Amino acid sequence: MFILNSSDPVPLYKQLYNQLREHILSGKLPAESKLPSVRQMAAELSASCNTVDGAYQELYAEGYIYSKPRSGYFVSTLDQEVAPQSLSGKKGKSNFVPPSQSRFAYDFHPARLDPGSFPTELWRKCLTEGLRRNSEEFSHYGDLQGDWGLRGSIQAYLEKSRGVACHPDQVIVSAGLHHSLEIIAHLLQENHTMVAVENPGYHLPRAVFENHGYTVCPVSVGTSGIELTRLKAGSATIAYVTPSHQLPLGYVMPVANRLALIEWAESGGRFIIEDDYDSELRYQGKPIPSLQGLRPTGNIIYSGTFSKILSPELRLSYLVLPYPLLDKYRRLYRSYNCSVSLVEQKAMACFMEQGHWERHIRRMRTVYKKKHDILLRSVETCFGQRAVVIGQGAGLHVVIRLPETPYSEADIIERAGQKGIRLIRFSDFHATGQPEAVTLMLGFGGMTGSEIEQGITLLSQIC
């Protein structure tokens, strides 16, 4: 009845899930019918029990089937009004399969947060409070730059915790870094055509500026961040930097370099984009104040996000624009409206006003410091001299270099996948060139301490 194709890129459990779901929705598997046991189904399909169990678990989690103790799994009765339509019942059948969710047992993706960390109850309270307090505001369009109360809270937080000196007037609430960069690219394109980005560095700025027709100039990164002599030797007039925690290498730009970078910007009408994406998460030493705070009236555009501490799915971030750009923004965007839902903004404002944000930061710092320390200990124990650790002490990932491994990056990612380990390609952070030695980026936010230990132990056996 079901056919699994091992040469299909869709994982086997997902193929089985899709086919079972289709049978349930089309009525071929009617409500209350019993599914074969995991073992029976695995034998029928010549597949592993894990494959069948993976498919059953997903159907169970989504409510297509339910389990009876000691009897097995049964098809649920679906409300036909709300059940999604069976694909076979539709005309113009498409082969589109939604991308599968991660099923890796050890997911070292650097952008994963602790799965239990979102403060759901507090957020629910703040949502309700925000709705209750401000109900009449929901009947009209609000401020283009975002909710005034939220902008005030962001300004106060940035001043206190990041040394950013600005007025709430300068704060723009945005829907993530790509949105902020779209605005910046638009504001600057009249007088600028070349933007310097860190190499290795985050791929998103490269993509956004290229999409806006800029020439993107990768500039190498040393232990002090972007290499200023190379930046100065080039013709870029905008520099995108992550000075407080360089992504991906984790280096911190020393104050002398920050001042030299500011001087570079000021001496030629150039601009610095300071992406301060995860500075809340420092586990060693003092917090590093922002670059913007060194020259509040300079050509520095400051960008921050709630994605690393609270949730990347809120799509809530912010920009601080210098006044000359702010005037331009207001002219160019006067017919636009704010892109972030006021409901979420009011909830965030309430979350900040009531002190939950600062408490949550402290809690998250403790949670991630523990995971960070476990990761470092595990790397030391399992890899010993084989791994050189880079950029530890902050954020949600650590980078390791493996100068002696006989395997390529692609081999390691493939071999890791076979052990249930997800790694991302470090080479993707390089706009040009490649790392000197195989380099792995190990995100630890989404795993438990014991998963980190087990994952690193397994990883050390295949590198």
Ligand X SMILES: Cc1ncc(COP(=O)(O)O)c(C=O)c1O
Q: Tell me which residues touch ligand X (CB under 6 A).
A: 111, 176-178, 202, 242, 247, 275, 277, 305, 307, 312, 317
Cα gap 254→357, rounded to integer Å:
28
Minimum CB distance to ligand X smaller for 307 or for 439: 307
Task: Give me 399's structure tokens.
Answer: 């980078």
Of 170 and 307, which has the nearer Cβ to ligand X? Answer: 307
- Complex with ligand X: residue 208 or 236, whichever CB lies closer: 208
- Closer to ligand X by CB, 45 or 241: give it: 241
Q: Quote the least distance from Cβ 299 to ligand X, whole Å.
A: 20
Q: Nearest distance from residue 65's CB to ligand X, in Å?
A: 35
Report, in Å, the least distance between residue 275 CB and ligand X.
5
Q: Which is nearer to ligand X, 13 or 277 (CB)?
A: 277
Beta carbon of residue 460, minimum distance to ligand X (angstroms, whole number): 26
265 vs 424 by CB, closer to ligand X: 424
A 10 A CB-CB count for 216 gives 18
Q: Which is nearer to ligand X, 23 or 308 (CB)?
A: 308
For 208, what's the count of Cα atoms within 13 Å in the CB-facing half-sphere?
21
Cα distance between residue 212 and residue 193, in whole Å: 9
Quote the tokens at residue 109.
């993706």
Least distance between ligand X and beta carbon 53 (Å): 32
Give 145 or 242: the residue with its C-beta nearer to ligand X.
Answer: 242
Residue 37: CB minimum distance to ligand X, A: 42
- Rounded least distance, CB 341 to ligand X, Å: 15
Closer residue to ligand X (CB): 21 or 245: 245
Closest residue to ligand X using C-beta atoms: 176
Longest dimension (CA), the chain: 76
Cβ 314 to ligand X, closest distance in Å? Answer: 9
CB of residue 218 vs ligand X: minimum separation in angstroms?
A: 15
What's the 3-state SS for the chain? Answer: CCCCCCCCCCCHHHHHHHHHHHHHHHCCCCCCCECCCHHHHHHHHCCCHHHHHHHHHHHHHCCCEEEECCCEEEECCCCCCCCCCCHHHCCCCCCCCCCCCCCCCEECCCCCCCCCCCCHHHHHHHHHHHHHHCHHHHHCCCCCCCCHHHHHHHHHHHHHHHCCCCCHHHEEEECCHHHHHHHHHHHHCCCCCEEEEEECCCHHHHHHHHHCCCEEEEEEEECCEECHHHHHHCCCCEEEECCCCCCCCCCCCCHHHHHHHHHHHHHCCCEEEEECCCCCCECCCCCCCCCHHHCCCCCEEEEEECCCCCCHHHCCEEEECCHHHHHHHHHHCCCCCCCCCHHHHHHHHHHHHCCHHHHHHHHHHHHHHHHHHHHHHHHHHHHHHHCEEECCCECCEEEEEECCCCCCHHHHHHHHHHCCEECCCHHHHCCCCCCCCEEEEEECCCCCHHHHHHHHHHHHHHC
Least CB distance to ligand X at residue 38 (A):
37
**Nearer to ligand X by C-beta: 54 or 248?**
248
Q: Of 277 and 368, which CB lies nearer to ligand X in the complex structure? A: 277
C-alpha 294: how far from chain center: 28
CB of 175 to ligand X, least distance (A): 8
